[in-house]
Structure 1
Amino acid sequence: MNEQVDTAPAGKRAGRVRDADRSRAAILDAAERLFADLGFQGASLAAIADRAHVSVGLPGYFFGSKEELHDAVLQRVFDRRNEALDEVATQAEQVLDQAPEAGEEALRLLIRGYVDFLLANPTFVWLLTRDALEHAGRREELPRHDQRFADRMVAVMTRAGVAEATLAPDQLFLSLIGMCYFPLEHDATIVAGMGQRGWTRAFQNRRVDHIVRLLLHQIP
């Protein structure tokens, strides 16, 4: 079989690659927003193409199916999470390396960093919430959990003097994620019912202070 050779000038080939990369990124951006807003069932490939300003067949061309596109969107937000939280853990570790007694400062960096990531990435919260509802028990092959960050978080808390980090590290990690995540996920229900708004910076500043005191057993 004769292999087909692209005889277009190098500049045109590079232009096509850049256009393809831009189109793929636009599709992922549009899909992330629509899957977060409407869920997997509610967002169609046609709607995603329209929002991305590409031809209706292009999402299928790049990703094959809506399921595969959804997987790609989730993986992209997980990669974004992992990169952000890896940096947060490094900052907290550096604080403790320079001043082992600065446990409270390290904890505050760790928790504020995670909260800041959530505030800057609301689609992450809604994608995971909708995914848990729509695909429970059917998407175990795509990791939702970053074990590297969990291990580093527990190690920082251990060095900072958090007793539960040694006694029940898995439970502590789950509790910490829940304390940060829950007010955002339930902002329009429980939090709003209390007359507060979880997505505001003022609320989250108080939240971080509360969690740090709780971890260090400093709540009177």
Structure 2
Amino acid sequence: MSEGPRRRDAERSRQALLDAAEELFAARGFAGASVAEIGAAAGLSREAPRYFFGRKEALYAAVLTRLFEAREAALAPAVAPLRAWAAGDDERPLEAPLAEAAEGYLRFLAGRPAFVSLVQREALEGGARLAAAPHESTTLEDVLRAVRDAAPRDGLARFDVAEAVVAWVALSVLPLAHQHTLLPAVGLDAGDPAFLARRRDQVVIALAALLRTA
């Protein structure tokens, strides 16, 4: 076998391990999923995770890093209309590009439930493993800072960017993090096709108010 097919096979095996690890870590947490189970779930040997990643901690960090890379890949196009608005290239009311950005973020969260699950697990466990995994992203901060810089032009308040990011993330993540706890208790269903549209609208109403009155 030539070097090219070997590399492709190795990359397929690595991705299969990451897929299996993402699912098992999300369902059971770091301590609850063994590397042997991850190897078996990936259709590989029980020792495959150690061959590709070494220690379990390195595999977990790779899972977190991949999830945040996926988040970044979803956010970048989602916030592009908001960047254009801040630059004066989109003349629609602020709520229109803000809705597109909010919907893109919510669709990522709903489509990648492991992201929400693992971030919640990290929050409960102190976040040390998350802090050790490369995952930095300033996309939301950067676009909101650009919006704030346009404040004099459009009559917005000089809002606090960090507070706006916290509000955006909280409004987006919390309902999906509690889709099996809070939502059923109040009669909501995260699987309802209209659910994300309502959450998007709520995010827009809250954020637009914050950006105008902070």
TM-score band w.r.t. shorter chain: 0.7 to 0.9
Q: Is residue 75 from structure 1 mapped to residue 65 from structure 2 by the alignment? A: yes
* Distance change in 2, residues 1:130/1:149 (3 Å): same
Identity of aligned residues (%): 35
> TM-score, normalised on structure 1?
0.84
Where does residue 133 of structure 2 map in the other structure? 142
Where does residue 36 of structure 2 map in the other structure? 46
| Contact 1:95 1:105 survives alignment (8 Å) | no
Among 3, 23, 26, which residue is 1:33 paired with? 23
Aligned residues: 207
| Contact 2:95 2:204 survives alignment (8 Å) | yes
- Per-residue deviation, residues 51-99 of structure 1 (Å, max 9, x unmatched): 1001111110110011000000000111111111111122332356433
Which blocks of at least 5 consecutive residues in structure 2 are unaligned?
none
Matches of 1:182 and 1:202, distance apart in 2: 17
Tell me which structure has the larger Cα radius of gyration.
1
Letter in structure 2 aligned against 1:153: L
Among 193, 201, 205, which residue is 1:201 paired with? 193
* Distance change in 2, residues 1:136/1:211 (3 Å): closer
Matches of 1:52 and 1:69, distance apart in 2: 13
Matches of 1:162 and 1:151, distance apart in 2: 19
Which blocks of at least 5 consecutive residues in structure 1 are unaligned?
1-10
What SS does structure 2 have at the residue aligned with 1:98? coil
Matches of 2:204 and 2:114, distance apart in 1: 26
Where does residue 121 of structure 1 map in the other structure? 112
> TM-score, normalised on structure 2?
0.86
Matches of 1:135 and 1:62, distance apart in 2: 27
Among 151, 155, 160, which residue is 1:168 paired with? 160
Where does residue 178 of structure 1 map in the other structure? 170
Single out whichever of 196-205 and 169-178 deviates more from structure 2. Answer: 196-205
* Distance change in 2, residues 1:151/1:57 (3 Å): same
| Contact 1:78 1:144 survives alignment (8 Å) | yes
Q: Is residue 188 from structure 1 mapped to residue 185 from structure 2 by the alignment? A: no
Matches of 1:204 and 1:162, distance apart in 2: 29
Letter in structure 2 aligned against 1:206: R
Give 1:14 shift: 1.8
- Per-residue deviation, residues 92-149 of structure 1 (Å, max 9, x unmatched): 3235643334311111111111111111111111111112223534542335552233
